[in-house]
């Protein structure tokens, strides 16, 4: 597999569970803004601006034939979209290794991200977005190992000023804690159905969590454990929709 895929191990974040709206004693219910993001080969469809910063519920709908995700990054103050794109091009030319990758990290602040989503599926995440200029990207690879971002799967968008009244996250049914390099807390005794988890990164590095529904668990787990990073493509596995 090409070295460019190694970026996947670097450019990924943990998730937080989907948020529902909670009412406060007699006050009018604050509604979480809903944003729909479409993903296909190799582009995103989404509004140019998210109305109202703060807590936003993002739903990623994969209408393509490959698995996609939507990595959100906020351009740091003073960084232009053109400068970030130049940094990405330089990192790609260096096969996403060495100082060129550091320039990408220095230009942006990474946010939570909708999970890797299988074709025809959807995933949701609730996250708090500060006002500013953002970019969404897909770093997952195609069957030849080329990251989708290298094929133009990148889209800028803006987040406006947060609404005066902000909704709050409900109590999660379960908690997941990510660390360097382990899942230190994870719900047990799960049942089939939809779950709301609060996922927190307690480590010093960027991490993500992608649940997999394995069709041949014993063989595929051994395949993962025996592989050198990044993990192999599990063509017989089904990426679950994470909420």
Q: What is the pLDDT of residue 107?
A: 94
Fold of 3-171: Immunoglobulin-like (2.60.40)
**Closest Cα partner for 197 from 169, 220, 219, 221?**
169
User: How many CB atoms sit inside 10 A of residue 25's CB?
Assistant: 4
**Measured between alpha carbons, how far is 209 from 174 in angstroms, rounded to an integer?**
14
**Closest Cα partner for 72 from 157, 131, 6, 199?**
157
User: What pLDDT, in 10s, does the model give residues 34-82?
Assistant: 889 999 999 999 888 876 667 888 899 999 999 999 999 999 999 999 9
**Measured between alpha carbons, how far is 108 from 130 in angstroms, rounded to an integer?**
13
Is the pLDDT reported for residue 153 higher than 80? Answer: yes
Q: Which residue has the tokens 């601006």?
A: 49
Q: Which residue has the higher pLDDT, 9 or 161?
A: 161
End-to-end CA distance of the chain: 30
**Measured between alpha carbons, how far is 215 from 118 in angstroms, rounded to an integer?**
15
User: What pLDDT, in 10s, does the model give residues 194-228?
Assistant: 777 777 888 887 777 777 777 777 777 777 777 65
Beta strands in 88-150 (DSSP E): 108-110, 122-129, 132-137
Mean pLDDT of the chain: 75
- Reported as a pLDDT band with limits 50, 70 and 90, residue 234 is very low
Torsion of CA 75, 76, 82, 84, to 10 degrees: -80
Q: Which residue has the higher pLDDT, 167 or 193?
A: 193
For residue 48, give both structure tokens. 């140019």
**Measured between alpha carbons, how far is 202 from 178 in angstroms, rounded to an integer?**
6
Residue 226, helix vs strand vs coil: helix
**Closest Cα partner for 15 from 51, 61, 50, 58?**
58
For residue 213, give both structure tokens. 């529904």
Is the pLDDT reported for residue 138 higher than 50? Answer: yes
What single-letter DSSP state applies at residue 3? G
């Amino acid at each position: 597999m090409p070295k460019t895929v190694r970026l996947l191990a670097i450019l990924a974040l943990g998730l937080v569970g989907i948020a529902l709206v909670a009412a406060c004693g007699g006050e009018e219910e604050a509604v979480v803004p809903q944003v729909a993001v479409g993903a296909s080969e190799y582009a995103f469809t989404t509004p140019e601006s998210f109305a109202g910063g703060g807590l936003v519920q993002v739903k990623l709908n994969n209408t393509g034939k490959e698995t996609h995700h939507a990595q959100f990054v906020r351009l740091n103050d003073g960084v232009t979209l053109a400068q970030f794109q130049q940094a990405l091009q330089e990192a790609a030319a260096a096969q996403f290794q060495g100082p060129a990758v550091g320039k990408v990290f220095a230009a942006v602040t990474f946010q939570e991200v909708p999970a890797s989503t299988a074709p025809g599926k959807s995933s949701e995440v609730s996250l708090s977005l500060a006002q500013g200029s953002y970019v969404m990207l897909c770093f997952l690879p195609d069957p030849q190992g080329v990251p989708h971002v290298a094929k133009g799967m990148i889209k800028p968008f803006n987040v406006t000023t947060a609404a005066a009244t902000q909704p709050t996250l409900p109590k999660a049914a379960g908690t997941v804690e990510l660390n360097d390099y382990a899942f230190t807390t994870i719900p047990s005794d799960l049942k089939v159905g939809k779950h709301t988890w609060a996922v927190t990164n307690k480590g010093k590095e960027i991490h993500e969590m992608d649940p997999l529904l394995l069709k041949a668990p014993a063989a595929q787990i051994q395949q993962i454990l025996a592989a050198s990073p990044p993990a192999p493509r599990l063509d017989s596995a089904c990426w679950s929709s994470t909420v």
